[in-house]
Amino acid sequence: MPTPKRDRYQNRIELLQGTLDLLILQTLQWGPQHGYAISQSIRGRSGDVLQVETGSLYPALHRLAKQGWVTSEWKQTESNQRAKYYRLSAAGRKQLLSEQARWKEMVSAIAGIMRPVREEGR
Amino acid sequence: MNFWNWLFRRHAREKDLDDEVQAHLRMAAQERIAAGESAEQARVSAVREFGNVDLVKETARDIWGFRWLEQLIQDVRYSLRQLGCNPGFTVVAMLTLALGIGATASIFSVIYALALRSLPVPQPDRLVEIGQNSRGNLHTYGEWKLFRDRQDIFLHVFSYNYFDTNFNITGAKERRAVSGLYVSGDYFQGLGVQAVLGRVLQASDDQPGVPPVCVLGYGLWRQLYGESRDILGRALLVNGHEFQIVGVAPRSFFGVDIGHMPEIFMPLEAERTYSDYPLLYGRQTPSLDDPHATILSFIGRLRPGVRVSQANAGLQVLSAQIYGALSGASDANGRAVVRGSLVALPITSDAWLQDMDMVLLLMAMAAVALIICCANLGNLLLARATKRQAEIATRLALGATRWRLIRQLLTESITVSLIGAAAGLLVERWASRSLIWALSWPDDTLSLDLSWDARLVVFALGITLSCALLFGLAPAIRATYVSIYSAMKNGVAAGRRSSRFSNSLLVVLQLSLSMALLVSAGLLVRTLHALLSQDPGYDPRGILVCHPSWQGPSETLPRAAFTGERLLREFRSVPGVTSASWSRVSSEMTGPRLTVSGPTGSEGQSGSYLIFVSSHFFRTRRTPILAGRDFSDGDSRTSFPVAILSEDLAKTLFHGVNPVGLSFRENDRNGKGQEYPVEIVGIAGDIQYRRPGDGALPILYRPVAQCADSGAGVGVYEVRVAGSFPQMTKRLEKAAENVDSHISIRFEPLTDTVSSVVHRNRAMALIATAFGLFVSLLAVIGVYGVTSSATAERTREIGIRLALGAQPADVLWMILGETAALVWTGIAIGVTASFAASRMIRGLIWGVAPTDPLSFGLAVCLMLLISGIAAFLPARRATKVDPMVALRYE
């Protein structure tokens, strides 16, 4: 009998290279967030399908900060804890728009590739 | 991201990252507590979910750049700790590398200074040396004047006296011998060199009749005057004559002759002022006024845009004019004026070409030493890699990549190399000094600019890093090639067998190369011995050679040649002197060609060297008179001209017939062209005037009293004494003072002269022996290492053998036998390599066969003996193994 944990593992999808940045930027679009909240938010909004490895999340956050797309500051959380909040910068907003455009392009491209395959299979 | 910013904010960011991770963990834990987990369990789960905290941090740190530098610093610090933990390894590695790198760098720096460094003057590539296609690179003074005045090919031309380079300088306190140059007025302008103090020589200084001036070299300025700036206008006594100091040359300036460091520069014309020296004192070289004395070197600076070939075309036209104008001049000796053409050649140093065989041998030795050093270190590192397998496996298991580990191990090698190279710098300074000593002749010291510049630094760093790669890469790769599982389990490595194999290969390489070096050293030592035991045709022991020189003002210079006779008489009357003689070597560049009518009427001809000697010359030297008689005091200026032939000359001319009583005709060297007969009164045994290995020279001896010509050189006195040298020099000095207080004498035991002739052979033998012993020592360390690691690895097996009743002697022989196979292989390859090596140094060995059995035998025995000892020690330790301990082990 498979355990629920194992189920979830199998349902998880490995993030495509480069999509994590897009997801983070997308999440930050609604306001500043700290790392833990970002990972929870991505997991929740994807219905537990996308789980962000902390091993990728923090390097990605620092990578974005170095690019100047997000800024960071230490603030109190609602539960009165100190946490580092990341905020989307103006440059980050621009980057998000271009990444979204690229993502749409890619989705339609992949969809275009997938359709003929299905037709052939029939 | 700025580097400094990174460096200073590194710690702040580190803390920030840490806080961030902690905050994440706390929030994750809180959420779990809210969901009902216990505090402890929540914390543990949060951490587990987070994953490898350090890895996350490390990856995040990577983002901020300079990660490589951080890792490098980490690696270097780790390496230094590792080195500190293994002081034995560190010291051996450092010393080995210091010697290897130091020796290689020193040889390179000498070759670099000799052949590759450019002259320290502006645009050295525009300078050409002007030679003569039929005669060589030197010219007469007459040719110089014509060339200087008529040429318009070059921007500047200048010349300097190639021969007259040794001077005695009398400063405020002391007298010293320095090397210097007589240069033409345009010398400094032509080279484009400015004075650092005062002015350089000018064309107006190089005129007949002007008061003599001089420019000091920087070194002499510092030594004599301590760089004092108020020396301009002061007088300096050079060979007893006053020269006014007008300037100081720059520190790096040495003229155009690499290997020579002139310390005083004087105008050519100043030399002519003193050309009326009496024969006995001072002058050793032909004067400027001799129309046949080719003593000047010409240098030209090309006009901008003019190529050497264009200059040569112009020179061809000019040469015809110059030699045409000269052929009209009277030629006293009836010699034909040299025809030919001047040719310009780019200035290159060919000094190193003359010493090519030596330099090559030195380079080969240094390379071999370096390779053996690297092999040895490679061996040590392989052994260490085996020991560190558990550590490396642990680090691999903890997530380090192989590349990261290799990089770290290489950093260790490079760190050791750099430390070794730093120590090698000290060795380099010392070794290049001894190299220069080895390459110099005792009377002609090589002085080279050995200061460091970019190219030398690049070379030194290059060999340091290649050493590190050479000895470090293979062990590093091998070390990381471990099975984590088996290594962690019991520390027994899978790769060990092959590691022992490469160990053995390296030891064989070391043994064979050191064999080749030892054999070469043996051959060189045997050569030296053969040279020294060669009978030179005289007995140098107990003979003091006296070189008198005149130190007074020119006005009181005694002009009479009879001073020479008086000096000889005074010397003979000194108590303790058994015999004394006086001789002068003719300054004729080519010896007289003797023509004799043979006994059968045919004519025999031979070139010969002319030496004027007093009576007792042969008696003092203990050279036998083979036929006829010695010169006597009766052979005077007025008596019939007589001569003694050397055995070699007599054989060449008379083919075994006794020539005593026959005569030949000699040309009067006073320029009147008269011929007169000279009677041969005796034959003397051959005297070795050159290196002991060279053949005898054909020499014509004439009585010094009958030497009337102006070309004769300085006199030399040879005194055979019974007392101790220091005591006798004092007495002889006093005797010279009786003749004239201005005479000063330099004394030299004749044995010194003889030994200075074999100086290079001695130097090479010494260096080769030192190298040979050094690399043999390394090879022995290699043998020791490979034997002890082989026995250590088989402790268990040996224990079982002993427990099953094997005798310790059996075990000993078993281990020794395995090492012996290695040693014999090394020696066999070494013998082959030695044959190749001895062929390479053929030019340096004399009087001993290149396959000299003694040299080969000794080298083999030495190798066997020391590697036997090196193998015996660990083998014996192995037999002391307690079976119980050995079996419990592992």
Q: What confidence tens digit (pLDDT) does each residue in B499-529 have?
A: 667 778 888 988 999 999 999 999 999 988 8
Tell me the pLDDT band of B830, cut-offs 50, 70 and 90. very high
A34 CB neighbours in chain B (<8 A) are 23-24, 27
In sequence order, what are the residues at sequence separation of 6 or more whose Cβ sits closer than 8 angstroms to the Cβ of residue B531?
B691, B692, B693, B758, B761, B846, B847
B34 CB neighbours in chain A (<8 A) are none
Q: Is B836 helix (H, G, I), strand (E, B) or coil?
A: helix
- Calculate how close chain A gets to B45, using CA atoms only, in Å: 14
> Quick one: how far is CA B142 from the chain centroid?
38
A–B: how many Cβ contacts below 8 A? 60
Task: Report the C-alpha gap between B504 and B510 in whole angstroms.
Answer: 10
Mean per-residue pLDDT, B576-596: 70
Task: Report the C-alpha gap between B635 and B650 in whole angstroms.
Answer: 21
- Calculate how close chain A gets to B15, using CA atoms only, in Å: 12
Task: Name the residue type at position B853.
Answer: P
pLDDT at residue B735 tops 70: yes
Q: Does the distance separating the beta carbons of B64 and A34 come in below 8 Å?
A: no
- Do B790 and B818 touch, CB atoms closer than 8 A? yes
Q: Does the distance separating the beta carbons of A58 and B64 come in below 8 Å?
A: no
pLDDT at residue B279 tops 60: no
For every residue of A53-118, DSSP letters joined together read -HHHHHHHHHHHHHHTSEEEEEEE-TTS-EEEEEEE-HHHHHHHHHHHHHHHHHHHHHHHHHHHHH
Q: What confidence tens digit (pLDDT) does each residue in B329-339 have?
A: 444 444 445 56
How large is the ipTM?
0.76
Which class for B368: exposed (0-12), middle (13-18), buried (19 or more C-beta within 10 A)? buried
Q: Which residue of A has its CA nearest to B47?
A: A54
Looking at every residue in chain B, the average pLDDT score rounds to 80
For A62, which of B27, B49, B60 is closest by C-beta distance?
B60
Report the candidate in B691, B702, B540, B719 with the shortest Cα–Cα distance to residue B611: B702
Tell me the pLDDT band of B671, cut-offs 50, 70 and 90. very low
For A54, which of B17, B26, B50 is closest by C-beta distance?
B50
pLDDT at residue A6 tops 50: no
R_g over Cα of chain B: 38
Phi-psi region of B346 (alpha: psi -120 to 50; beta: other; left: phi over 0): beta
Q: What is the pLDDT of residue B824?
A: 92
pLDDT at residue B195 tops 70: yes
- Do B878 and B795 touch, CB atoms closer than 8 A? yes
In sequence order, what are the residues at sequence separation of 6 or more whose Cβ sits closer than 8 angstroms to the Cβ of residue B779?
B372, B376, B507, B510, B511, B513, B514, B826, B863, B867
Min mean pLDDT across B213-222, B233-242, B807-816, B868-877 is at B233-242
Q: Does the distance separating the beta carbons of B27 and A34 come in below 8 Å?
A: yes
Strand ranges, E, within B447-490: none
Q: Which of the given ranges, B103-117, B138-152, B658-672, B781-795, has the highest pLDDT on average?
A: B138-152
- Calculate how close chain A gets to B392, using CA atoms only, in Å: 25
A55 CB neighbours in chain B (<8 A) are 51-52, 55-56, 59
For A58, which of B26, B30, B60 is closest by C-beta distance?
B60
Phi-psi region of B865 (alpha: psi -120 to 50; beta: other; left: phi over 0): alpha
Min mean pLDDT across B32-36, B363-367, B704-708 is at B704-708
Q: What confidence tens digit (pLDDT) does each residue in B106-145 have?
A: 888 888 887 777 777 888 888 888 888 776 778 888 888 8
- Do B586 and B609 touch, CB atoms closer than 8 A? yes
In sequence order, what are the residues at sequence separation of 6 or more whose Cβ sits closer than 8 angstroms to the Cβ of residue A111?
none
- A98 versus B68: the higher-pLDDT residue is A98
Q: Does the distance separating the beta carbons of B20 and A84 come in below 8 Å?
A: yes
Residues in chain B whose Cβ is within 8 Å of chain A: 1, 16-17, 19-21, 23-24, 26-28, 30, 49-52, 55-57, 59-60, 62-64
Report the candidate in B696, B667, B666 with the shortest Cα–Cα distance to residue B684: B696
**Which of B18, B19, B24 has the highest number of chain A CBs within 10 A, making it the mutation to test binding with A?**
B24
Q: Does the distance separating the beta carbons of A58 and B26 come in below 8 Å?
A: no
First to last CA, chain B: 52
Q: What confidence tens digit (pLDDT) does each residue in B687-719 have?
A: 887 777 777 888 888 888 776 543 344 578 899
Q: What is the pLDDT of residue B876?
A: 86
- Token pair for B245: 């100091």
pLDDT at residue A7 tops 50: no
Beta-bridged to residue B580, according to DSSP, are B719
B6 CB neighbours in chain A (<8 A) are none
Tell me the pLDDT band of B456, cut-offs 50, 70 and 90. confident
For A81, which of B23, B55, B57 is closest by C-beta distance?
B23
pLDDT at residue B374 tops 70: yes
